[in-house]
Amino acid sequence: MSFSLQRLVGGGGIFFDLLDQSAEEARASVQLLVKLLSAPGAGSLDDFALLRKKDKKITEELSQRLTTTFSTPLEREDIEAVSNALYKIPKTLEKFGERLLISPDRVRRTDFSRQAQLLEKATDTVVLMVRELRGGTRLETVKEQNDQLQYLEGEADKLMVELLRQLYTGEKDAASVIALKDLYDLLEKVIDRCRDLGNIVFHIVLKNS
């Protein structure tokens, strides 16, 4: 089964361009996370802040165009929903970076690589799903991509339970437990943001198929 969003209205490519750019910024924020985790002592929030500001400009431009453009390639609320979901990814990762850098050394040395791997896969899938909104696509393709995001979110939940079990063994001091739980929660929230984006895109495709 397939559909073509371009059949609904002519043009509208700028909206797809901006959504694609926002998805790429979401993926770039995860790449910054990986870089920060590789050398937390030398990390800086400047890159996260600049990236989020760049994505905020994209989001604001989309919002402005929605109010000034008569015909849009998708329903206005759908474009806005995708845009808002994408913006929350770098915004949440900036919070993680901030909390990590102010944490004690023993917390910064924690291995977050498993969460980072899940996030890399999730944002790669997010980029592909957003790209599929342009022109036309098969419903089956988007469903497979959304299923992948649901799977990754499930794996993140399992990992969270495992990490919390380790935290509550009593081997770490109270301050470290509080700091690590906060950091774990933020990374899980990013995965949730990716899952939410997948559900939104799948709903749009399903509605227009």
Domain borders along the chain are 9-208
Q: Are 2 and 206 in contact (CB under 8 A)?
A: no
* pLDDT tens digit sequence for 149-201: 999 999 999 999 999 999 988 788 888 899 999 999 999 999 999 999 999 99
* pLDDT tens digit sequence for 61-99: 999 988 888 888 888 999 999 999 999 999 999 999 889
Architecture label for domain 9-208: Up-down Bundle (1.20)
